Structure 1
Amino acid sequence: MYLRLLLTFVIMFAGLLLPPFFAVLSTAQQGMLVELPNILFMLVIILSHFFKQGRSGFAALLMLVAYNVIQQRLQTPLAVGSTLFEYYFLVLLLPANLVLLLFLPERSLFSFKALSYHAIFILQAAVFYWFIQPEQLPLVTSLLTAIEPWILVFGDVSVLPNILLGLLICAVLIAAILMLFRDVSSDQAFLSALLACTLTVVEFEQQWISASMFTISAIVLLLSILKRSHEQAFIDDLTRIPGRRALNIELAQLSGKYSIAMLDIDRFKKFNDAYGHDIGDSVLKMVASQLATVKGRGRVFRYGGEEFTILFKGKSALDCVGYLNEIRVLIADYPFQIRQPVERREPQEEGANNTDSCREEFIEKTVKVTISIGVAQERSSTTSPDEVIIAADKLLYKAKESGRNQVCA
């Protein structure tokens, strides 16, 4: 996660090197590059609708509007008309809305539940449109005169007052912290959008800066949608390892020598019945995280329920036994702790109502989780992966019948 965070900062700051390359291009090429963010953000909006990733779609919509405000309204000196007011308006509202989206639940872009999101953004757009009308220029001038002593109280950097820069940095830090401490793939794209906004307004006087930074941000948003769509299709939502669909694709491409191990959590149904489904889910996640450390270049998949599959390419079944025993022992020795509720009766005072009084407490206990494993290999070029899985399944049940917590090959 730290590497992804560092990579995001490196990519966005590397975008500062792009504007000089824009200057040497032909007029036609420059025009195409200026339009590129519009195309990319529109593509993100369309894909976000079909892939049900509304927050990324709203982020792309905000960035699209902001980019066009910069291109259409802020290409004149800031001292002219309401340009400075529009610049401040953009610097305040774009990062604020992006941070707001980080905390809002996922909503499909054009769903009924997303109407409140649309209402928030439309209201802001209406206020902005009202302020930029020519007849409002005296009011805008008065507002700027009133707020400038507050905005410039800490000086400025470039054309950006330091107090606004501080707000932008706070927004970037919020996105960075969320990216580190929660597992949401779109957080990286939101961080890139906030960095694009920050670097654009800090280097606002540099030609082509907005086209460079917003293009990179649009690409990161697009990649984020594709990555999350891939995860939804191929990654098991609970255990965060590849699921059955990913396994089927991998099996269809197999060639040469390989072995397949089928694994099952021992007495999982009784465990679920005794401790509840939430604890059962925690067991599945623990087992998956331990299996992911298997050696021998084994690839782990959740086959379904409490059953997992490990695929070893280029190895015989006997080659894999050592790796599988190692992971079996690792899971068996794992100190899995659960909190179990117990009821304690409160002592009654003399003369009090005889109604029983109970209070719920929790006790922590450590339980042992074990797995049984069967592993088989392809016997000839005509042996199909399904046949190998069936053979591994038979060996798995043999391991269970032999006492569980063992490997059969």
Structure 2
Amino acid sequence: MYSRLLLTFAIMFAGLLIPPLFAVLSVDQQSMLVELPSILFLLVIVLSHFFKQGRSGFAALLMLVAYNLIQLRLQTPLAIGSTLLEYYFLVLLLPANLVLLLFLPERALFSFKALSYHAIFIFQAAAYYWFIQPEQLPLVTHLLTAIEPWLLALGDVSVLPNILLGLLICAVLTAAILMLFRDVASDQAFLSALLACTLTVVEFEQQWISASMFMMSAVVLLLCILKRSHEQAFIDELTGIPGRRALNIDLAQLTGKFSIAMLDIDRFKKFNDTYGHDIGDTVLKMVAVQLILVKGRGKVYRYGGEEFTIVFKGKSAADCVGYLDEIRLLIADYPFQIRQPIERRELQLDERNSKKGVDKTVNTKSKADSSITEVNKTVQVTISIGVAQGRSSMTCPEEVIKAADQLLYKAKEAGRNQVCA
């Protein structure tokens, strides 16, 4: 998380180095680069629709509208007409909407559930359009006269009042904190958009600043979309390790000697039936976390259900036994704790007694007390492993997997919690 946060800040601040480069380009090249952010934002919007990443799509839509407003409406001196008020509107509304989307649930960009989001944006666009009409100029002048003393009470930075700069910094910090404390891929996109907005308005008098910063934000948005799409395709959502599709692709590229280990959690179905699927999911996560510690440069995949696969390149099965035995013992020695509310245990006991025809009366007060009491129970989780070796010129990986699977069942028949090679 920290590396992604620092990388986002580094990319966006690197955008400050781009405006001087515009000066050495031809007029046609400059025009092309000015249009590039709009093209990239449109691309993000299209990809967000197909890859079901509506939050990033909404961020791109907001940035697209803001960028075109800057290019079409804010290229004249701020003292002329309603330009200054439009500038203040942009500084307030763009970060406010981006922060709002940070806390709203994921919605597909073009879906019925997202109509409320579109309604909010359309209402703001209508209000903005009404204010910029020439007949509203007296009202605009009156509003500027009324709000400017308040906005400038704390001074200004460049053409940006300090009070607005403070709000922008708060928005950036909000996105950064959320990015650190929750694992939501689109948070990085929102942080880049807020940084682009902040750096643009702070350096607003610098030529080409909006094109540079919004282009960098569009690149980060595009990378986030592609990264998230890759994770959806190849990373197992529950355990966070590569899934079956990633395994199949990597197996097709194996060369030379290799070994494949098939691993299975012992008595996992019984575990699920006894403690529930939520606890079962926690077991899968714990096992995955331990497996990625395997030595010998083994790469771990979730094969499906409670089965995992480890691929060792350039290793024989005999070489891998030590690595696998070490990881087997690590999991077997892990103190896996299960927290069960007493009330649930009493209800399970009631169900058993009712089946036996026993009438048991439970005191209401004791039930109320037991609902806030938990019992910690430590259980042992073990795995059985089968490992087989192959060579790309002689055996296909599917045959090696089949052989490893047969050895896995041999390990289970021999008493479980062991490696069979």
Task: Give your verdict on TM over 0.5.
Answer: yes
Matched, 1:249 2:261: no
2:388 is the alignment partner of 1:388 = no
Deviations 1:265-288 (A, max 9, x none): 111111111110001001101111
What TM-score, normalized by structure 2, do the two folds share? Answer: 0.93
Counterpart Cα distance in 1 of 2:336 and 2:147: 58
* SS across alignment from 1:378: strand
Q: Does 1:368 align with 2:380?
A: yes
Shift of the 302–355 alpha-carbon distance from structure 1 to 2, 3 Å rule, reads closer
Code of the aligned partner of 2:307: E
For structure 2, the 5+ residue unaligned runs are: 347-360
The residue correspondences of 1:64-143 to structure 2 (distance < 5 A) are 64-143=64-143
Q: How many angstroms does 1:382 deviate by?
A: 2.5
Distance 2:237 2:179 in 1: 18
| 8 Å contact from structure 2 (residues 258, 391) kept in 1 | no
Tell me the distance in 2 between the aligned counterparts of 1:402 and 1:155.
78
Q: In structure 1, what is the Cα distance between the partners aligned to 2:150 and 2:327? A: 62
Alpha-carbon separation, structure 2, partners of 1:80 and 1:380: 73
Which residue does the alignment assign to 2:202?
202
Distance 1:137 1:375 in 2: 78
Report if the CA contact (8 A) 2:22-2:208 is conserved.
yes
Classify the secondary structure of the residue corresponding to 1:237. Answer: coil
Q: 2 CA distance for matches of 1:208 and 1:367?
A: 62
- Pick closer, same or farther for the CA change 1:380–1:33 going to 2, 3 Å: closer
> How far apart are the structure 1 equivalents of 2:292 and 2:153?
54
Whole-angstrom CA distance in 2 between matches of 1:297 and 1:380: 18
Quote the Cα distance in structure 2 between the aligned partners of 1:296 and 1:78. 64
Q: CA deviation at 1:356?
A: 3.7
* 1:231 corresponds to: 231
Match of residue 356 from structure 2: none
Runs of 4+ with deviation above 6 angstroms? none
| 1:296-325 Cα deviation digits (max 9, x unpaired) | 111111000000000111111111111111
- 2-structure distance, mates of 1:330, 1:188: 35
What letter matches 1:3 in structure 2?
S
Deviations 1:205-257 (A, max 9, x none): 00000000000110111111111111111111111111111111111111211
One-letter code aligned to 2:203: E
Listed as ranges, the gaps of 5+ residues in structure 1 are: 346-353
For the pair 1:290 / 2:290, whether they are aligned, the reply is: yes
Q: Which amino acid in structure 2 is aligned with residue 173 of structure 1?
A: L
Distance in 1 of aligned mates of 2:189 and 2:206: 24
Whether the 8 Å CA contact 2:387–2:407 is kept in 1: the answer is yes
**Alpha-carbon distance change, 380 to 254 in structure 1, aligned in 2, over 3 angstroms:** closer
Aligned to 1:397: 409
Inter-partner Cα distance in structure 2 for 1:182 and 1:270: 33
The answer for the alignment partner of 2:258 in structure 1 is 258
Are the counterparts in 1 of residues 254 and 392 from structure 2 also a CA contact under 8 Å? no
Question: Which residue of the partner structure matches residue 189 of structure 2?
Answer: 189
Amino-acid identity (%): 84
Classify 1:355/1:234 alpha carbon distance in 2 versus 1 (closer, same or farther; 3 Å).
Answer: closer
Preserved CA contact (<8 Å) 2:256 2:391: no
For residues 346-365 of structure 1, what are the structure 2 equivalents within 5 Å? 356-357=363-364, 358-359=367-368, 360=371, 361-365=373-377
Find the residue that maps to 1:149 and give its secondary structure: helix
- Alpha-carbon shift at residue 327 of structure 1 (Å): 1.2
Code of the aligned partner of 2:260: I
RMSD, matched Cα: 1.3
Q: 1:379 to 1:165 in 2, by over 3 A?
A: closer
CA distance in 2 between partners of 1:90 and 1:32 (Å): 24
- TM-fit CA distance, 1:162: 0.8
Distance change >3 Å, CA 79–CA 329, structure 1 → 2 = same
TM-score (norm 1): 0.96
Return the offset for 1:402.
1.6
SS class of match (1:152): helix
- The letter for the 2-side match of 1:336 is F
Question: SS in structure 1 opposite 2:16?
Answer: helix
2:389 to 377, 385, 394: 377
One-letter amino acid of the structure 1 residue matched with residue 268 of structure 2: F
Secondary structure of the residue that 2:296 maps to in structure 1?
coil
Larger helix proportion of the pair: 2
What is the letter of the counterpart of residue 398 of structure 1?
A: K
The alignment partner of 1:369 has SS state of coil
Aligned-residue offset at 1:379: 5.2
Q: How many residues align?
A: 401
2:351 corresponding residue in structure 1:
none
Aligned to 2:166: 166
2:221 is the counterpart of 1:221? yes
* Matches of 2:30 and 2:297, distance apart in 1: 47
Determine whether 1:24 maps to 2:24.
yes
Distance (Å, rounded) in 2 between the aligned partners of 1:123 and 1:322: 65
Q: Deviations over 1:128-180 (max 9, x none)?
A: 11011111111111111111122111111111111111111111111111111
